[in-house]
Amino acid sequence: MQKWSGHDDDRRSIIDAAYRCLSEPHTGPIPMSAILRSAGVSTRAFYRHFGSKDELFLALLREECDAITARVDRIAEEAVGTPANQLAAWIGEMFEVIVEPVHQLQLMVIDSDEVRMAKGYRETRERSHADRERSLVEILGRGQRDGSFPLTDPDSDAIAISAVVSRVMAMQVPDDPQRLKQAQSRVLDFALRAVGAFSPK
């Protein structure tokens, strides 16, 4: 039993080391040896968990995307208030991510050129977007069924709203809370107009 715990610790150490190495100023690709040195593990330990550096970088991407998906899934599962309230909470949760220092750093790493060049990056990113949008489809479907979102096509609108959220978030400065609040409000207004609803009070 202890053996597997040690293996899990190695995997965590490698992932944490990759985040550290990629977030520090550097020129050119990060050598695998630098990540292993930072993690304090051997090459053999690395290959027990990852087939290549690309696989490691995709694991960083999946981990961050899964964490965000879990947060928005919780909003759909808890179903607090009206569908409009839930839509506002979903958008608010997405904006909240970019103001949290830990997530800021992790998002910067997974959006770095080196991670983007990993084989399978685009497919993994697309899958993560679909996972994230699943909870939004559920919320929009509730509004469609109770009549509060009369114009919605849940599948198409979830893709459109998610895309707008991503695009607007990418243009924000995390340490400007007033501008962030205004941007979040504009995105919510867009989403509510798109589905034929009014802003939640």
d(CA 125, CA 103): 17
C-alpha to C-alpha distances, 97 to 11, 68, 106, 109, 142, nearest whole angstrom: 25, 8, 10, 14, 25
What are the tens digits of pLDDT across the range 6-39? 567 899 999 999 999 998 887 888 999 999 999 9
Q: Which of 10, 26, 51 is the last residue of a domain?
A: 51
- Does residue 200 lie within any of the structural domains? no
Identity at 180, one-letter amino acid code: L
Residue bearing the bigger pLDDT, 108 or 190: 190
In this predicted structure, the answer to whether residue 167 has a pLDDT above a threshold of 80 is yes
Asked if residue 149 and residue 75 are part of one domain, the reply reads: yes
Q: Which domain holds residue 23?
A: 1-51
What are the tens digits of pLDDT across the range 67-98? 999 999 999 999 999 999 999 999 999 998 87
Asked if residue 47 and residue 57 are part of one domain, the reply reads: no
- What are the residues whose beta carbons fall under 8 Å from the beta carbon of 17, sequence distance 6 or more? 35, 36, 38, 39, 40
In this predicted structure, the answer to whether residue 115 has a pLDDT above a threshold of 60 is yes
In this predicted structure, the answer to whether residue 4 has a pLDDT above a threshold of 50 is no
Mean pLDDT of 105-131: 91
Length of the chain in terms of residues written: 201
Mean pLDDT of the chain: 90
Q: Which of 9, 24, 51 is the last residue of a domain?
A: 51
* 19 C-beta neighbours (distance < 10 Å), count: 21
Structure tokens at 168: 């607007």
